[in-house]
Amino acid sequence: MKVGVIDYGASNIFSVVRALNSLGASTKIVKTPEDFKNTDKLVFPGQGSMGSCSKKLSENNLRDSLIDALNNFPFLGICLGLQILFSESEESEGEKGLNIFSEKIEKFSEFEDRTVKIPHMGWNQVEISQNHFLLKGIKSNENFYFVHSFASKEANQNEIFSKTFHGEIFNSAVGKDNIFATQFHPEKSGKSGLMILKNFLDWKI
Amino acid sequence: MSVTIRIIPCLDVRNGRVVKGINFEDIVDAGDPAEAAKRYDIEGADEICMLDIDASYEARSTTLDTVEKIANQVFIPFTVGGGIKSVQDVEVLLRSGADKVSINTSAIINPKLIEEASKEFGSQCIVVAIDAKFNGKNWSVYTHGGKNKTELDALSWSKNVEQLGAGEILMTSMDRDGTKTGFDNNLNETLANNLNIPLIASGGAGELNHLVDAIKIGKADAVLAASIFHYKEISIRKVKEVLKREGLDIRL
């Protein structure tokens, strides 16, 4: 089995590759449409802004192959890899996401007293709202590592798998059919994070 | 339920070995970086920071080796600082296994580096480290590991780098570094009250109460310490248990 790791050109994919390799998975960097061949699963570890991600996906002709893959492959989106699955983001008005989830990604509310810092950076609790194969062995309210300034606040209840609080509640994991995505970084969340990646490797659809 | 206070052990590394100085001088050996990092991870560190305090061009490959060794066994956020001068230096470190880079002197010499690096790799991986000393009125920023005084003051400089795209500030008090007399809570609070990005307090940790004060009084989002953890004076687990008892949000 080969796990494709999408490198759209503006992201630090190395940590994810390293974590997957440590679990015994063989990985392949996916940079062009041809690279999707001979991969069995896909991980999308995004960083930076949704606008530049969306642009680079188009520039590198990855958008169509990615949409195609989203219909067929077990898919794990991480951080911006979650956000890009939504229709659009307040971060980059006018740029289109992949529209797997029809809602919008929004900015965190700012608080006058600066008690809620943005980016939301650090370990925070993930409250599981419904079971999922990828969350097997994870207890509700375990801590995972987050780094982001925008979040999914609204989504279809059936598609929300966990919630987290940072000044307000947001969706920290969403999923649908063969697609699962986390706002947190499993590759940087110690044992609990590696457990989610391990579950992803074991996931059959 | 909220984001937890981060406890970040820092490995000051030179020639592939952990070292620790007092007031930026008097270097002593404190072990193998990868082993230290692994121990910290097991003890419950929330992140690992490694500062290449020599950071000479010749020693670069040793540094990258060390980064890679640590990254291969520790799956928590890993920041590397020291000797970063260009976007390419950032990329090489990220490729070697760093999740974030900490930029100090080069940010002052070339502030554009912050802007370019954060645009290229995202703000989340750009930490700006500031070394500063109280001058009677405010805090003067120093470069080159505390050797050269600049005209900058820590507050305005930190606000400036926030605008340029820094994702975090690592604030080291040169007055307190290595003294074990506690963090400079005035300095940290002044910054924390004026920044939206997270603040990591550094310099001065000697006992548990210092860490509690850094968070409660200094309003730091994270605390970084080196020597108290290296010599096993205080374990990270113990620190976290105490902070939790103090009512702080802590990941145990």
Q: Which domain holds residue B72?
A: 6-245
User: Residue B23: what pLDDT?
Assistant: 47
Q: Which CATH number fits domain A2-202: 3.40.50.880, 1.10.3720.10, 3.40.50.970, 2.60.40.3080?
A: 3.40.50.880
Q: Give the residue on B whose Cα is nearest the Cα of A124.
A: B3
Please state whether beta strands B148-153 and B222-225 pair in parallel, antiparallel, or not at all (unpaired): unpaired
DSSP 8-state code for residue A22: H
- Percentage helix, strand, coil for chain A under 3-state DSSP, each rounded to 5: 30, 35, 35
User: Residue A91: what pLDDT?
Assistant: 84
One-letter-per-residue 3-state SS of A60-115: CCCHHHHHHHHHHCCEEEEEHHHHCCEEEEHHHCCCCCCCCEEEEEEECCCCCCCC
Whether residue B250 is contained in a domain is answered as no
Whether residue B251 is contained in a domain is answered as no
User: How many structural domains comprise chain B?
Assistant: 1
Q: Find the helix packing angle between B185-192 and B208-216, rounded to 10°.
A: 30
Distance of CA B66 to the CA centre of its chain: 17
Average pLDDT over chain A reads 93
* Active-site option among B41, B54, B131, B177: B131
Whether residue B205 is contained in a domain is answered as yes
| Mutation for testing the A interface, residue in B73, B74, B124 having most A CBs under 10 Å | B124
Q: Give the residue on B whose Cα is nearest the Cα of A143.
A: B251
Interface of A with B in 129-168 (CB under 8 A): 141, 143, 145-149, 164-166
* pTM of the predicted model as reported, rounded to 2 decimal places: 0.92
User: Residue A66: what pLDDT?
Assistant: 93
Q: Which two tokens stand for residue B25?
A: 């001088």
What are the chain B neighbours of A120 within 8 Å (beta carbons)?
3
- Smallest CA–CA distance, residue A171 to chain B, in Å, is 14
- Smallest CA–CA distance, residue A118 to chain B, in Å, is 6
Query: Is residue B131 among the annotated active site residues?
Result: yes
- Smallest CA–CA distance, residue B148 to chain A, in Å, is 31
pLDDT tens digit sequence for A22-55 = 999 999 999 999 999 999 999 999 777 788 888 8
ipTM: 0.88
- In tens digits, chain B (252 residues) has pLDDT values of 689 999 999 998 988 888 865 444 555 667 889 998 998 999 999 999 999 987 677 778 889 999 999 999 899 999 999 999 999 999 899 989 999 999 999 999 999 999 999 888 888 889 999 999 999 999 999 999 889 999 999 999 999 999 999 999 999 999 999 888 999 999 999 999 999 999 999 999 888 899 999 999 999 999 998 877 766 677 889 889 999 999 999 998
Query: Is residue B89 among the annotated active site residues?
Result: no
pLDDT tens digit sequence for A68-122 = 999 989 999 999 999 999 999 988 888 889 999 999 999 998 887 777 888 899 9
User: Residue B110: what pLDDT?
Assistant: 97
Answer whether residue A4 shows pLDDT above 70: yes
**B205, B183 in Cβ contact below 8 A?**
yes
Instruction: Provide the sign of the torsion angle of the four alpha carbons A182, A185, A190, A194, taken in this order.
Output: positive
| Mutation for testing the A interface, residue in B5, B46, B75 having most A CBs under 10 Å | B75
Q: Residue B67 belongs to a domain with what CATH number?
A: 3.20.20.70
Query: Would you say how long chain A is, in residues?
Result: 205
- Tokens 């080969």 appear where? A2
